[in-house]
Amino acid sequence: MIKRPFFSLGKPKLKYPVDDTQEQDVIRVIPLPDRVTFFLEDPYERNEGFLIKPGDKIKTGQKLKLTEDDKDYVISSVTGTIADISQYRGYLGKTYAAISIDTGDEEQWDDKFKEGCQKPTLENSLEFLGCLPGDTGFIPILDTHPPLNTIIINGLDKDILVSTNQLIVQTETDSLKTGIEYLREITGAGEIMIAVSPELASQAGEIDVDVKVIEPSYPNTLPEIIMKSILGKTPPADETWEQIGVGLINAEAVVAISNAFTKGQIPVSKLLTVINKDNTTVHVRARVGTHVKEILAALDIETYHGDQLVLGGPMTGHALYSEDLPILADTDAIMVHDKDNVVLPSDCHCINCGECVRACPARIPVNMLIRVLENDLYEEAAKEYDLLSCIECGLCSYVCPARIPIFHYIMLGKYELARIETVEESNA
Amino acid sequence: MPDEKLFIGSHAPYWHNGSSISAKSYDTMLAALPAVVLGISQYGAPALGVLALSVSCAMIWELIMNVAMKRPASIGDGNAAVIGLLFAMLMPATAPWWAVVVGTFVAVVIGKQIFGGIGCNPLNPALVAIAILMLSWESMMDFNDALVNYDFGFNMIYPLAAIKSFGASAVSDYNTVGLLMGQQPGGIGTTFGLGLIIGGLYLILRGHIRWEISLSFLASVFVTALLFNLSDPDKYANPVFHLLTGYTLIGAFFLATEDSSSPVNFFPMLLYGAFAGILTVLIRNIGAFVDGVVFAILMMNVANPLLDKIRPKAMGKGIKHA
Residue-range domain boundaries for chain A: 20-29+268-341, 35-110, 114-263, 355-427
Nearest CA in chain A to B23: A401
- Give the least confident one: A19-33, A272-286, B130-144, B234-248: A19-33
C-beta atoms of B207 and A7 within 8 A = yes
**Mean pLDDT of the region A280-300:** 93
Inter-chain contact B9–A350, Cβ cutoff 8 Å? Answer: no
In the prediction, which pLDDT does B260 show?
93
Dump strand ranges (E) for A266-372. Answer: 269-275, 281-287, 308-311, 318-320, 333-337
What integer is the mean pLDDT of B240-268?
Answer: 95
Check CB contact under 8 Å for B321 and A306: no
Are the beta carbons of B174 and B156 closer than 8 angstroms?
Answer: no
Q: Which amino acid is at B198?
A: I
Read off the pLDDT of each residue in B165-185 and give the average, rounded to a whole number. 87
Percent of chain A with pLDDT strictly greater than 70: 98
For A385-423, what is each residue's pLDDT tens digit? 999 999 999 999 999 999 999 999 999 999 999 999 889
Is A315 within 8 Å of A25 (Cβ atoms)?
no
User: How many residues would you count in chain A?
Assistant: 428
pLDDT at B321: 43
Mutate one of B1, B10, B17 to test the A interface: name it (highest A CB count within 10 A).
B17
- Chain A residues in contact with B313 (beta carbon < 8 A): 363
Which chain A residues touch B10 with a CB distance below 8 Å?
308, 319, 342-345, 405, 408
DSSP secondary structure, B43-103, as one string? H-HHHHHHHHHHHHHHHHHHHHHHHHTT----GGGSHHHHHHHHHHHHS-TT--HHHHHHH
Whole-angstrom Cα distance, residue B102 to residue B98? 6
Return d(Cα A154, Cα A178) in angstroms, integer: 16
Among A16-20, A337-341, B65-69, name the one with the lowest average pLDDT: A16-20
Provide the pLDDT for residue A18: 58
Q: If phi over 0 gives left and psi between -120 and 50 gives alpha, with beta otherwise, what is residue B194? A: alpha
Closest CB to B311 among A335, A344, A365: A365
Kindly indicate whether the domain formed by A114-263 is annotated with CATH number 3.40.50.970: no
| Distance from chain centroid for Cα B302 | 15
Q: Is the pLDDT of residue B320 over 50?
A: no
Contact (CB, 8 A) for A226 and A214: yes
Percent of chain A with pLDDT over 90: 46
Does A336 contact B at CB distance below 8 Å?
no
Nearest CA in chain B to A340: B8
Q: Is the pLDDT of residue A5 over 70?
A: yes
**Quick check: A363 and B6 CB within 8 A?**
no
Strand (E) or helix (H) holding B17: none
Rounded average pLDDT over A150-170: 89
Is residue A184 a contact partner of residue A148, using CB atoms and an 8 Å limit?
no
A351 closest CB neighbour out of B5, B15, B260: B260
Interface contact B7-A361, CB threshold 8 A: no
Interface contact A424, partner B, CB < 8 A: no
Nearest to A405 among B11, B210, B259 (CB): B11
| Secondary structure E strands in A119-277 | 150-154, 191-196, 210-213, 217-218, 246-250, 269-275
Q: Which residues of A touch B117 (CB under 8 A)?
A: 349
Give the residue with greater pLDDT, A141 vs B82.
B82
Contacts of B20 in chain A (CB under 8 A): 401, 403
| Contact at CB, A9 and B207, closer than 8 angstroms | yes
Would you give the DSSP letter of residue B252? I
Band (pLDDT 50/70/90 cuts) for residue A347 is: confident
Return the residue of A nearest to B17 by Cα: A3
Percent of chain B at pLDDT exceeding 90: 75
Do the Cβ atoms of B118 and B112 come closer than 8 Å?
yes
User: 3-state class of A218 per DSSP?
Assistant: strand
Min Cα distance A356 → chain B (Å) is 10
Count of other CB atoms within 10 angstroms of residue B306: 10
Question: What Rg do the C-alpha atoms of chain B give, in angstroms?
Answer: 21
Beta-strand pair A80-89/A95-103: antiparallel
CB contact under 8 A, A317 and B14: yes
- Asked if residue A77 lies in contact with residue A60, where contact means CB atoms within 8 angstroms, the answer is yes
Q: Chain B contact for A278, CB < 8 A?
A: no
- Cα–Cα dist B131/A194, whole Å: 61
What's the pLDDT at B204?
A: 95
- For residues B205-231, give the mean pLDDT: 95
Type and span of the H or E element at B184: none
Asked whether residue B322 carries a pLDDT value surpassing 50, the answer given is no
| pLDDT score recorded for residue A46 | 83
Residue B33 confidence (pLDDT) above 70: yes
Beta bridge partners of A95: A89
Distance CA A37, CA A138 (A): 22
Q: Compute the average pLDDT of residues B293-321.
A: 86
Q: Is A258 helix (H, G, I), strand (E, B) or coil?
A: helix
* Interface A-B: count of C-beta contacts within 8 A: 195
Q: How far is A407 from chain B (nearest CA, A)?
A: 7
Q: Note whether A281 and A334 are within 8 A (CB).
A: no
CB contact under 8 A, A363 and B19: no
Cβ density class A335-358: b for 16+ within 10 Å, e for less? bbbeeeebbebeebbbbbbbbbbb
In the prediction, which pLDDT does B281 show? Answer: 96
Return the pLDDT at A68.
86
Which one of B6, B16, B315 has the shortest CB-CB distance to A305? B6
A33 HSE (CA, 13 A, CB side): 28
- If DSSP codes are grouped into helix, strand and coil, which group holds residue B278? helix
CA distance A399 to chain B (A): 6
Report CA-CA distances (Å) from A153 to A169, A186, A191, A273, A404: 10, 15, 11, 19, 35
pLDDT the model gives residue B318: 62
Beta carbons of B16 and A403 less than 8 Å apart: yes
pTM of the model: 0.92
Distance CA A156, CA A133 (A): 15
Please judge whether A343 and B14 are an interchain contact, meaning their C-beta atoms are less than 8 angstroms apart: yes
Cβ-nearest to B17 among A348, A351, A398: A398
Q: Is A18 on the interface with B (CB under 8 A)?
A: no
Contact A401 B24 (CB under 8 A): yes
Across the interface, do A394 and B12 touch by the CB < 8 Å criterion? yes
Cβ A153 vs Cβ A258: under 8 Å: no
State the nearest Cα–Cα gap between A211 and chain B, in angstroms: 25
Say yes or no for a CB contact (<8 Å) between A314 and B16.
no
B191-212 pLDDT per residue, tens: 999 999 999 999 999 999 999 9
User: Distance (Å, rounded) from C-alpha A319 to C-alpha A317?
Assistant: 7
Output the pLDDT for position B68.
Answer: 94
Residue B312 contacts residue A363 (beta carbons within 8 Å): yes
Q: Identify any residues that bridge with B33 across adjacent strands, giving them in sequence order.
A: none
CB within 8 Å: B264 and A352: yes
Of the ranges A61-65, B81-85, B181-185, the best mean pLDDT one:
B81-85
What residues pair up with A271 in beta bridges, in sequence order?
Answer: A285
User: What's the pLDDT score for residue B5?
Assistant: 83
Would you call A307 and B8 a contact, using CB atoms and an 8 Å cutoff?
yes
Torsions phi, psi of A376, nearest 5?
60, 25
Backbone torsions φ then ψ of A180, nearest 5 degrees: -70, -40
CATH code, residues A20-29+268-341: 3.10.20.90
CB contact under 8 A, A314 and B8: no
> What is the residue-averaged pLDDT of chain A?
88
pLDDT of A24: 55
Mean pLDDT of A318-338: 92
Summarize pLDDT for B117-173 with one digit per residue, the tens: 999 999 999 999 999 999 999 888 999 888 888 888 888 889 899 888 888 888 888
A296 three-class SS: helix
CA-based nearest distance A218→chain B, Å: 13
User: A162-166, B25-29, B204-208, B280-284 — which is least confidently predicted?
Assistant: A162-166
Contact A314 B13 (CB under 8 A): yes
Of the candidate ranges A142-156, B38-52, B195-209, the one whose mean pLDDT is the lowest = A142-156
- pLDDT number for residue A206: 84
Instruction: Enter the DSSP assignment of B265.
Output: S
Which residue from A minimizes the CA distance to B121?
A: A351
Q: Which residues, other chains included, contact B14 with Cβ-Cβ below 8 Å and sequence gap of 6+?
A: A308, A310, A314, A315, A317, A319, A335, A337, A342, A343
The residue among A224, A235, A148, A217 whose CA lies nearest residue A187 is: A148
Question: Does residue A275 have a pLDDT over 50?
Answer: yes
pLDDT band at B1; cut points 50, 70, 90: very low
Q: Mean pLDDT across chain B, nearest whole number?
A: 92
- Note the ipTM here: 0.91
Residues B198, B241 contacting (CB under 8 angstroms) = no
